[in-house]
Amino acid sequence: ALEKVEESLHLKGLPHSKLYATVDIGLDRLARTRTVKFHATNPAWNESFRIHTAHTTDTIVISIKDQLPVSAKVVGRAKIAVTEQFLAGEPIEGWFELFTDEGHKLNEANVHVRLGFTHVSADPHWGRGIMDPKFSGVPNTFFPLRPNCHVALYQNSHLSNEYQPPISLFGNERYEPARYWEDLYKAIDRAQYFVYVAGWSVNVSLTLVRDPSRPVPGSEGKAIGQLLKEKADQGLTVLVMVWQDRTSITLLGNAGLMKTHDTMTLKYFEKTKVKCFLCPRNPDPSLSAVQHVEVGTEFTHHQKTVIVDAEGRLGSTRKIVSFIGGIDLCDG
């Protein structure tokens, strides 16, 4: 846990400074604290991190930086040696002196750190996973492990009938490849209460079912935008959230540099029962001016998710089905 850094003399008289700390191994930054305004006595973060690492190193570096309008300035770094005792599980805690990148010691500048190391072999489930009946799920995650779930894996948006890989499954069953867009159309079409869509891009002109050898009744020539409007007209709650490309402006023909169709999608659902929202990626206030531009124009909320209600196993109850992963509803 990074806790405090004592006053560094060359920061006196700079009350506008915003300090943050990073945990580095080699050239890799593994963690970063929030920024705090410079305090004349002891700026404090009081933050802790759980870091999974496979690095080979003999030193862990704690870097203290001053966030500037354009970039960041290194105030000082503390280099903490990785000892055999530390690797054996003995924690390291104390005040460590800060040095410049040129090797000069900063006068009365120290950082307080507590480090602990746990080898992966100490995890009783390591290498066994779900084969262990006592396995309670991936630790330190937001949602707990839930039983009675089913997962279908998709390798592409669509596959022809001729694609039949010779893969044998348990019980002498034959592997049947799943078809993402076909299953997605059926799931949206059969939903009765809600359809939630979040994506980097949602092209309302995209037709999900196209293969004449695998027809789905009612899907002929129907684009996903039309399908969503029909479900909303039936009384379902249909929500669409798309990344807002900040370069989608009139000067550039509203197309945007990333060609995500965001303004076209928003306009398509205007005055319909579908609720559409363009969601930008807003930069953290602690970032520099250059980083603000980079985050706001180049980085996205990159989830690709469609969530619907579906018929349950007993027929009388409904369940939730989610399509998640890396297949866009874009220009495929």
What is the mean pLDDT of the segment spanning 122-140? 79
pLDDT at 13 (0 to 100): 42
- Domain end, chosen from 105, 121, 137, is at 121
> How many CB atoms within 10 Å of residue 79?
15
101 vs 201, which has greater pLDDT? 101
- Cα distances from 227 to residues 114, 267, 304, in angstroms, run 55, 16, 18
Q: Which residues, other chains included, contact 49 with Cβ-Cβ below 8 Å and sequence gap of 6+? A: 23, 30, 31
Check residue 135 and give its pLDDT.
79
- Taking only the tens place, the pLDDT of each residue in 203-238 is 999 999 999 999 999 999 899 999 999 999 999 999
Q: Are residues 288 and 227 in the same domain?
A: yes
Q: How confident is the model at residue 148 (pLDDT cuts 50, 70, 90)?
A: confident
For residue 90, pLDDT beyond 90: yes
Residues 230 and 308 in one domain: yes
Residues 103 and 8 placed together within one structural domain of the fold: yes
Tell me, yes or no, whether 159 and 293 share the same domain. Answer: yes
Q: Evaluate if residue 37 carries a pLDDT over 80.
A: no
**Is 130 inside any structural domain?**
no
DSSP string, 53-120: -----SEEEEEEEEE-SSSEEEEEEEEEE--HHHHTT--EEEEEEEE-TTSPEEEEEEEEEEE----G
- Say whether both 303 and 159 belong to one domain: yes
Answer yes or no: are the C-beta atoms of 8 and 76 closer than 8 Å. yes
pLDDT value of residue 301: 59
User: CATH code at 84?
Assistant: 2.60.40.150
Among 121, 137, 156, give the residue marking a domain's end: 121
Q: What percent of the chain has pLDDT over 70?
A: 82
- Mean pLDDT in residue range 153-174: 85
162 lies in the same domain as 295: yes
Residue 310 scores a pLDDT above 50: yes
Name the band, by pLDDT with cuts 50, 70 and 90, for residue 6.
very low
Q: What is the CATH number of the domain that holds 245?
A: 3.30.870
Say if residue 97 is in the same domain as residue 160: no
What pLDDT was estimated at residue 317? 86
* Residues 117 and 154 grouped into a single domain: no
Mean pLDDT of the chain: 83
Higher local confidence (pLDDT), 317 or 282: 317
Kindly compute the dihedral angle of the four CA atoms of residues 295, 300, 301, 307, in this order, to the nearest 10 degrees: 170
Structural domain for 229, as ranges: 148-324
At 281, which amino acid appears? R
Judgement on whether residues 11 and 154 belong to the same structural domain of the protein:
no
Identify the residue with better confidence: 259 or 184.
184
Within a domain: residue 306?
A: yes
Mean pLDDT in residue range 283-291: 65
pLDDT of residue 285: 65
Is 90 exceeded by the pLDDT of residue 4?
no
**Is 136 domain-assigned?**
no
Mean pLDDT of 144-166: 84
Q: What does the DSSP 8-state code read for residue 175?
A: P
DSSP, residue by residue, 75-94? EEEEEEE--HHHHTT--EEE
Task: Tell whether the model's pLDDT for residue 3 goes beyond 70.
Answer: no
Which range, 50-54, 191-195, 251-255, 264-268, is most confident? 191-195
Confidence of residue 121 (pLDDT cuts 50, 70, 90): confident
Q: How many CB atoms lie within 10 A of CB 92?
A: 17
Clarify whether residues 283 and 188 are in a common domain: yes
Co-location of 218 and 318 in the same domain: yes
Q: What's the confidence (pLDDT) of residue 7?
A: 39
Residue 56 placed within a domain: yes
The reply to whether 227 and 313 lie within a common domain is yes
The confidence band for 41, taking pLDDT boundaries of 50, 70 and 90, is: low
Q: Is residue 18 part of a domain?
A: yes
List the alpha helices (DSSP H) in the chain. Answer: 84-87, 180-190, 224-233, 262-268, 289-298
Name residue, tokens 């020539």.
221
